[in-house]
């Protein structure tokens, strides 16, 4: 990596890859030169979201790796973004703004500031989520787009 390149970092489960994920990754890449994306392991998703991902880790990581807005994909087996900074030395941490008011994320803002690292909350895409997609599939029942 060149010395003055801005390294960005973001992480997530990225299960059932959807437009909200793509918006977040594209907007993150617009604000840095080199985007590192942490993909959450199946075990950590089970622990933190209390549900199993539909798409296994090995496949989620391949999907994220194939995106042109992503420069490097790494494993996220620990939620701690300060530990991730120690590993990857990023300059900006990105997240959807659904996390903005959470205590955990406010803690990251405070701690990372000491290292001159900023945290940017990008607009969450309200129309979709992995949970919404899971529910839609569950309720599908042979109906397409509400037409019976």
Name the residues that contact ligand CTP, by CB under 6 A.
12-14, 20-21, 24, 49, 95-96, 98, 124-125, 128-131
Sign of CA dihedral 95, 9, 119, 82: positive
Residue number, 1 or 65, with CB nearest to ligand CTP: 65
Q: Which residues contact 132 (CB under 8 A, 6 or more apart)?
A: none
Instruction: Tell the smallest beta-carbon distance from residue 3 to ligand CTP (Å).
Output: 28
Instruction: Tell the smallest beta-carbon distance from residue 104 to ligand CTP (Å).
Output: 13
Q: Which residues contact 35 (CB under 8 A, 6 or more apart)?
A: 8, 9, 10, 25, 28, 29, 69, 70, 71, 72
Which residue's Cβ lies closest to ligand CTP?
Answer: 96
Residue number, 34 or 124, with CB nearest to ligand CTP: 124
Residue number, 89 or 136, with CB nearest to ligand CTP: 136
């Amino acid at each position: 990596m060149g010395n003055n390149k801005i390294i960005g970092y973001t992480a997530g489960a990225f299960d059932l890859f959807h437009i909200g994920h793509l918006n977040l990754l594209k907007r993150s890449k617009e604000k840095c030169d080199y985007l590192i994306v942490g993909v959450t392991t199946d075990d950590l998703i089970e622990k933190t979201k209390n549900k199993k991902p539909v798409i296994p880790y090995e496949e989620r990581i391949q999907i994220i790796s194939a995106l042109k807005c992503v420069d490097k994909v790494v494993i996220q087996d620990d939620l701690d973004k300060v530990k991730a900074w120690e590993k990857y030395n990023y300059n900006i941490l990105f997240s959807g703004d659904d996390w903005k008011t959470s205590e955990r994320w406010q803690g990251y803002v405070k701690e990372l500031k000491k290292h001159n690292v900023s945290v940017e909350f990008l607009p969450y895409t309200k129309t979709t989520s992995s949970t919404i997609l899971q529910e839609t599939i569950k309720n599908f029942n042979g109906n397409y787009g509400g037409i019976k």
